[in-house]
Chains A and B, each alone.
Chain A
Amino acid sequence: MLVVEGLVKRFGGFKAVNNVSFKVARGEILGLIGPNGSGKSTIFNMLSGTFPPTAGSIKFEGEEIAGLPPHRIINRGIGRTFQIPRPFHRLTIFENVALAGYFGQGRLSRANAEEAAERALAMVGLPTDRRASVEGLGAAGLKKLELAKALATAPKLLLADESLGGLDDNEMEQAADMLRRIRDELGITIIWVEHIMGVLMRVVDRVMVLDHGEKISEGLPAEVSSDPRVIEVYLGTDANAVQAAVARARG
């Protein structure tokens, strides 16, 4: 579904992403991990069109999308959530989601947008009441709103950016289950960028690890978490905790 080849992003003399290639199959959940500044968000920004790559190709469903403006990319079916939720505070929850549904799907119709908003809100477990205000939503609620906005655009591929930061353990588990349900019930392919490895490892099909803008490992969660290079550059003292989490997830 998504084929990325030789992706490079340079900011001045600094190479934020250096020659990264990967593929995502339809229906897959790919985890993208790496320390701060490893280039995860830069890759997301190129995939969603926030800025163009310096070099390389991004093919989505066989068509080149590298360098397209964000609104074109979203209309082709790549939705995105943000690390830091950015709702429009002056709009209601419903308006936020319906707006994304209307423009994200290429301005089909009001009815279509409102229906998409209702489905997305129900999916993430937010009130579908049209007057519910954004004020008063906690960290978990705002993350859900982000997810609902992305879902309302009817994506085929969802880019979920560090969606669990700022949540407690219980909320984290719920959110991880939510991503899995989105894949299972809606058939949406997901790339998930995350700091918190334990939960991610339980849900994803494959993991890709970045460090200093380069891909250093890729494979099944169990393989990656026992890869010496990954343990060295990223996991460090967390390695035991991660392996324990993977073992627990396997039952």
Chain B
Amino acid sequence: MLEHFDIFLLEAVINGILLGGLLALLALGLNLIFGVIDVTWICYAELVMIGMYGMYFLVQYYGLPYYAAAPLAILIVAVLGALLHLLVIAPLLNAAPINQLLATGGVLFVLQSFATVAFGIDFRNLGIRLPVLQFADMHLSYSRLLAFGVALIGMLLVYLFMTRTFLGTAIRAIAQDRQIMPLMGVDAGRIYLITSALGGALAGLAACLLVLQYDVHPFVGLSFGPITFIICVLGGLGNFVGGFVAAFLFAQIISLGGLYSDLEWGYVLAFAFFIVMMFIRPAGLLARRS
């Protein structure tokens, strides 16, 4: 009995880690946009939803293999991110934050409604079922392992880009002082556009990984949008490392919480934890005490 319980516990911990990688990838995209442009894309998860539909149509309708469809879907969402910036954010860059929030909130409903009208409310999937790995009485799905691995590689690439290139350095630096960058010869508008496309590409990558595990429908964004947002807040909005830590912490609470009862209890515990943390560390997990 005890032995069995330990295996379940270990399986839950491992699944929590796997989920954490995916949530960390989602949080990174949102954090990147907030940290650099100082705008919260409320519609971030809806970009992921569009990416999942992109994968569905490329694979099921045009018959592309998964690995050929994925780069295309990432590109589509990257372009969507750039368009979102050009059409919605750029005109509101100096507007009050609440206006920017409402505008991206509006985009959320536009994308949801568009998906409903264009694709219907059916649940769709790729028709790809990856096998489940059985190891020492544990069940670990390959799709989760793949998602975890690719998410980590994606985050590593972003890290290298941000630290090893001048463009990445400028992206990190511009958040600190918007006015001085142009006077160092940097075209701030271009930096924002590139950052938005990168944020979109991360949403696209997440979409490629999520679509292996979940069916896509117009409201699928609701099942991970709020979690992503809360993870970013928990880690400190715009704080990349904080978001990374918070994603794994949150995923572990969900996974372990779900072990003792229904999966939904995991979410209840995780959100309760978030509310308590907002009292204890309102500026985020890794915020320096002022």
Nearest chain-A residue to B173 (Cβ)? A88
Contact B169 A104 (CB under 8 A): no
Partner of A74, one of B173, B176, B184: B184
Bound-complex Cα distance A240 to B169 (A): 50
Asked if B166 and A86 make an inter-chain contact with CB atoms under 8 angstroms apart, the answer reads no
Interface size class for chain B? Answer: 10 to 19
A80 within 8 A of B: yes
| B226 in the interface (beta carbon within 8 A) | no
* Nearest B residue to A102, CB-CB: B166
The chain B residue sitting closest to A80, CB to CB, is: B183
- Give the contacting residue for A86; candidates B180, B185, B188; CB below 8 A: B180
Residues of A contacting B71 in the complex (Cβ-Cβ under 8 angstroms): none
B170 within 8 A of A: yes
Interchain nearest-CB distance for B122 vs A (Å):
47
A residues in contact with B3, CB < 8 Å:
none
Contact A106 B185 (CB under 8 A): yes
B229-271 to A contact mask, C-beta < 8 Å, 1/0: 0000000000000000000000000000000000000000000
What is the CA–CA distance of A91 and B176 in the complex, to the nearest angstrom? 10
- Contact between B176 and A153 (Cβ–Cβ < 8 Å)? no
Taking the closest CB of chain A, its distance from the CB of B90, in whole angstroms, is: 14
User: Across the interface, do B166 and A99 meet the contact criterion of CB distance under 8 Å?
Assistant: yes
Assess whether A89 is in contact with B176, with CB atoms less than 8 Å apart: yes
A residues in contact with B177, CB < 8 Å: 86, 88
Q: Is the interface of B mostly helix, strand, loop or mixed?
A: helix
Closest Cβ of chain A to B286, distance in Å, is 14
Q: Are A104 and B184 in contact (CB under 8 A)?
A: yes
Q: Is B137 an interface residue (CB 8 A)?
A: no
| Minimal beta-carbon separation of A77 from chain B (angstroms) | 11
Which residues of chain A come closer than 8 Å to B180, judged between CB atoms?
Answer: 82, 86
A131 within 8 A of B: no
- Assess A99 versus B173: contact at CB under 8 Å? Given A71-B187, A113-B166: yes
Interface contact B184-A100, CB-CB below 8 Å: yes
Complex CA distance for A6 and B10, rounded to whole angstroms: 77
The answer to whether A105 and B185 have CB atoms under 8 Å apart is yes
Closest A residue, CB atoms, query B187: A71
A-B contact pairs, 11 of them (CB 8 A): A69-B187, A71-B188, A74-B184, A80-B183, A82-B180, A90-B176, A99-B186, A102-B166, A104-B184, A107-B166, A113-B166
Q: Which residues of B contact A (CB under 8 A)?
A: 166, 169-170, 172-173, 176-177, 179-180, 182-188
- 16 more contacts with CB within 8 A, not counting A99-B184, A104-B184, are A48-B183, A50-B183, A71-B187, A74-B182, A74-B183, A86-B180, A88-B173, A88-B177, A91-B172, A91-B173, A98-B166, A99-B170, A100-B185, A103-B185, A105-B185, A106-B185
